[in-house]
A = this chain, B = another copy of it.
Amino acid sequence: MILYDFVPAPNPRRVRIFLHEKGIEVPTKQIDIMKGEHKKKEYKKASPLSQVPTLELDDGTFITESIAICRYFEALHPEPSLMGDNAEEIAIIEMWQRRFELLLMIGIANTYRHGHPAMAALEDQIKEWSEASRPRVIKMMYWFDKQIEDKEFICLNKFTIADISALVCFDFAKWPKIEIPSDCINLLNYYERLNSRPSAKA
């Protein structure tokens, strides 16, 4: 088994944090996106759309999409559970994971990919979309700030993959220079709690 990884990027980081929390070690191989290694023919055999991360199984099957890779390990190593132990937990965690991903992370990605000079070579940039995405991200941060009030974790009073997605979002937001607003005290404290876990360095 091998995990095709790129240390600086947010999606492979989700998988690395997940594996660390599970206590699973998987050999990795770096695919340098900034050098265009994800676009090379050899890597496209593993990941036809050049996505990183990709997990190669021992039978030669390739799994792309960070959350799909996490689900693979959750099914093989259910403890500690990061995606829920029963129907209601599974649904609530998925809801929160998707809220971070669809309502925050995609907005951050659009702000960055369509606005940052470093991405001009990789993306047919629509600057208007970057500019429109930025305030939407900040608005969502205020919403999440209210949701995390009086809570240690975003749902079910325990650490889950939804918190992993949250942490990855907050650090990814720094790429297009979006910081958690200074008056989002709950969110800032939440970020610190997540960032102080050993897995945050994975």
Contact = CB atoms under 8 A, between A and B. Distances in A.
Nearest to A85: B75
A71 interface: yes
A88 interface: yes
Nearest to A94: B68
Interface of A: 48-49, 55, 57, 61, 63-65, 67-69, 71-73, 75-76, 86-88, 90-92, 94-95, 98-99, 102-103, 106, 124, 126, 128-129, 132, 143
B129 A67 contact: no
Given A128-B126, A129-B126, A132-B124, A94 B106 contact: no
How many chain copies? 2
Contact of A68 (B75, B86, B92, B129): B92
Contacts of A126: 126, 128-129, 132
16 contacts: A48-B143, A57-B88, A61-B88, A61-B92, A65-B94, A65-B99, A65-B102, A68-B94, A68-B98, A69-B91, A72-B88, A72-B90, A72-B91, A75-B86, A75-B87, A124-B132
A67 B143 contact: no
A91 to B, nearest CB: 4
Given A128-B126, A132-B129, A90 B61 contact: no
